[in-house]
Structure 1
Amino acid sequence: MLDADVILTNIETLKVLIAKDFTVVSPMLMSDGVYSNFWCGMTENYYYKRTDDYKPILNRKKTGCFDVPMVHSAVLISMRYDVSDKLTYYPSKITNYDGPEDDIIAFALNSKALGEHVIFQCNRYLCSQIKNRSLIKICLSTGIPLYICNEAIYGFVPVPLEDNDPLEKDYEQMLNIKLEAISQGTPLPLNHMLEEYVTHPNKWKFGCDEIYMINLERRQERRFLMELSFKELGMSVQHFSAIDGRNLDMNDLREYSITLMPNYEDPYHKRPMKAGEVGCFLSHYYIWQDIVKNHHRVALLLEDDIHFVPYFRHRFIQLMDEITQSLSALLYIIYNMFYFRYIGRKILLDGEEEYATPHTTRPLYSYWTLGYLISERGAKKLLRADPLSKMLPVDEFLPIMFDQHPK
């Protein structure tokens, strides 16, 4: 049984679930945030209760099939066992039902009651038939636990609308699901006969002078997925072909006027700089040069493995307004660079960061360059430091430049 807004992307879903031979089983569906199609806890009044078991299953830190108190939206029921005939979504058909008038709660409570009843009958019957192992197996398998399985990415489901939500919010929820599916490498298929009914927003630069996307030529799949996301978001992006570390001779970098910083060691692995890190730095460096050359007031740099969070368009535009208005009001007339926490930043120093505006902080020692906003002034400062003459990874260079590197 599938709700109309469930989107299964794994073509093996039905085959896999049938093979598990459970009476009731659901494929775990992904969404934005922490919503899914199962519960790990239920209150005394039979409503949703968050437990410590939920997130490890949702985030697939623990994988397998788990006995949970509730599954919904995508449910496979085996008709091989007689007890499945007693399953129902109707509270009126359940003896001594004391729960709310809710179909999925009724189904869950009924399943639990049937399971307890069947196991009791089996235990009493098995007292005289204990030697018959096949009877034991049948009795134990006819209880009705509800299983959620997450060994694979099976599909997606949007967060349900509230009663007073406008239909426009449903479109945004659907966009969130499409972007989540793309980030998982499983973009939602669109039947060619329906393409004429699907529209995409006009492309623009989201208030930036330029948006760059860094991508290695040999990673065409990443570029394809990123371009799908840009199409869904209406984002006009310039593709930048990254410098491939495989093509660099680490023993002779004079062609690029590079001198590696003497005695540099990676803080985690205690190794020298790798060719891929050199290529990554050069890619960012050449974009900084392009920003200065073209006098871009502000530019957004994106690497090709970012994950666009729910409501990215709205959050980005609101943040652009905030940093323009609030920072000007605080006399920080010109900013140099902004990391985007919700695109990707790894904070390496513990401690509270000082807030500059309601949604921006002054960063402490941070890694990753998945997505950041940079002004022409900021790009000039980075280039003036002459980083090619004492190169180290760009993750380390940036916190040195905003004076938060521990060394």
Structure 2
Amino acid sequence: MKIKTYVINMKESVVRRNALLSEVTKYPCMDVEIVEAVNGRRMSSEDVKKNFDVLKFTYRYRRTPKRGEIGCVHSHRECYKRLLASDEEFALVLEDDVVFFYPERVDSLIKEMAGKMKSAQPHIISFTTHAIYYTKSVHLVDNFSFYRLWDAYGACAYLINKKAAERLLKASRPSIVADDFTYMKRIGILAEGIYPTFISGGSSIDKPSEIQDDCTDYVRLSDLPFRYQLKHCWTRFYCELLLSAKVLSFRNYFKDRN
């Protein structure tokens, strides 16, 4: 089985691109296509205003977006557009700083999980670390378990089907970070994730990120419109309720990564 694999890479990041291409040639299942990353730091204020809903983002996360985050989400959206324009039913998306923790298992496990991708429902399977998850596992592959996600860290490696890509592209101007799995769940996407962590982004293991190093300004909850205050409070309350009922559980990233 060949799996269309979109690798997100800055055009000028030749070293990263070559290093990852050298790595993925070890995995016969990957049919690699390079997707040039959008450098958000080079976007003009007018480009940002035209292509990203900064106000809604600020209300959603109680902070202003980083330019790198804006570029990141547009880079992933380009992968979704290519998937929808292709004959493929699903694809693997990788960022160029990924680290494979179990290289000897990559080909077999990704192929097995690709076989579990749903066609009738928007579906994403993440191979990176998840933070908050539903406690009942949905798949078991050897010593790896898969759980439905509430929240996770990073969007460096995941399978996505066409229906999920279509759902994420529905908004003409995005207002989210690329790894907002809570939002994905809210819009009807089935998001599942692996444990233990199978693939990680370099920025999560102390390698510098090329797109996530700018600053942000935080907003007090009381400064948000009332409906957003209500949404934040309800989401937090509901999450804590499910955690206390053990419907959800939490993994400490640094403790559980390996």
Query: Per the shorter chain, which TM-score range?
Result: 0.5 to 0.7
The residue matched to 1:399 in structure 2 has which SS? helix
Match of 2:135 in 1: 353
- Within 5 Å, which residues of 2 pair with 1:186-335? 206-208=1-3, 210-234=4-28, 235-249=30-44, 251-253=45-47, 256-262=50-56, 264=58, 271-308=63-100, 309-311=102-104, 312-321=106-115, 323=116, 334-335=120-121
Match of 1:371 in 2: 157
Q: Which has the higher contact order (CA 8 A, sep 6+)?
A: 2
The residue matched to 2:166 in structure 1 has which SS? helix
Structure number with greater Rg is 1
CA distance in 1 between counterparts of 2:40 and 2:74 reads 10
Q: Deviations over 1:101-154 (max 9, x none)?
A: xxxxxxxxxxxxxxxxxxxxxxxxxxxxxxxxxxxxxxxxxxxxxxxxxxxxxx
- Within 5 Å, which residues of 2 pair with 1:44-63? none
**Contact kept in structure 1, 2:9 and 2:37, CA below 8 Å:** yes
Q: Is 1:400 paired with 2:193? A: no
**Residue range with higher mean Cα deviation, 351-360 or 282-291:** 351-360
CA distance in 1 between counterparts of 2:119 and 2:90 reads 13
Query: What is the aligned-residue RMSD (CA, Å)?
Result: 2.7
* Structure 2 residues not aligned, in runs of 5+: 192-231, 237-258
CA distance in 2 between counterparts of 1:265 and 1:402 reads 19
Residues 259 and 319 from structure 1, CA distance in 2 versus in 1: closer, same or farther, beyond 3 angstroms?
Answer: closer
- Within 5 Å, which residues of 2 pair with 1:100-179? none
**Contact kept in structure 2, 1:337 and 1:372, CA below 8 Å:** no
**Contact kept in structure 2, 1:212 and 1:302, CA below 8 Å:** yes
**Contact kept in structure 1, 2:124 and 2:164, CA below 8 Å:** no
**Contact kept in structure 2, 1:213 and 1:302, CA below 8 Å:** yes
Q: How many residues align?
A: 183
CA distance in 2 between counterparts of 1:220 and 1:282 reads 20
Q: Give the structure-2-normalised TM-score.
A: 0.62
**Contact kept in structure 1, 2:84 and 2:162, CA below 8 Å:** yes
CA displacement at 1:221 relative to structure 2: 1.2
The residue matched to 1:233 in structure 2 has which SS? coil
